[in-house]
Amino acid sequence: MRRLTLIVTALAALAVPAAAQNAGQIAHVKAGAACPRCNLFQADFGGLNLKGRNLAGARLRQADLSAAVAGHVRMSGSDLRDLNAYGAVMGSADFARSDLTNATFVGAYLEGANFAGAKLGGVNFSGAEMGRARGLTQAQLAGACGDPSTTLPRGLHLKPCA
């Protein structure tokens, strides 16, 4: 019986299509287009200008936005787990209701960004400028970390990163 269960489980796993990135959608965004609800898994947008793009509801898990210019970008309701936004300029970005678990915003500019309802567990905000970020609560920041150079809205604090 156990062997049959293992075989059925293995066959079921093979029947589920992989949720790999969509190269066409990634090229579309790189060309300057909006792409809400797109599959941009592991996309490399490092150093690009994504200013004002609508990527709401998109899957950007493990994507690279390091040193990208993405001010006013809409990412509300997006899967941004393990996102790398090291040194990104993301002023007034909309992260409302997004899952940012384990994302990296080291040295990022996040002034005016909206984090209302966002999941921030494991996020590294070391050196991030976010003194005028909106929608942040202490409960959201409880699982995130930063360093002494991180700027936060008045009354909020982060634990030090290990």
> How do residues 61-97 score in pLDDT, each as one tens digit?
999 999 999 999 999 999 999 999 999 999 999 999 9
Cα torsion angle, 92, 93, 95, 101, sign:
negative
pLDDT recorded at residue 13? 42
Rounded Cα distance, 145 and 143, in Å: 7
The residue-averaged pLDDT of 103-113 equals 98
Residue owning tokens 């982060």: 158
pLDDT recorded at residue 1? 53
Rounded Cα distance, 53 and 103, in Å: 20
pLDDT recorded at residue 21? 86
For residue 16, the 8-state DSSP code is S
Cα torsion angle, 36, 41, 43, 48, sign:
positive
Name the band, by pLDDT with cuts 50, 70 and 90, for residue 20: confident
What is the 3-state secondary structure of 117-130?
CCECCCCECCCCEC
Fold of 35-162: Pectate Lyase C-like (2.160.20)
In this predicted structure, the answer to whether residue 9 has a pLDDT above a threshold of 70 is no
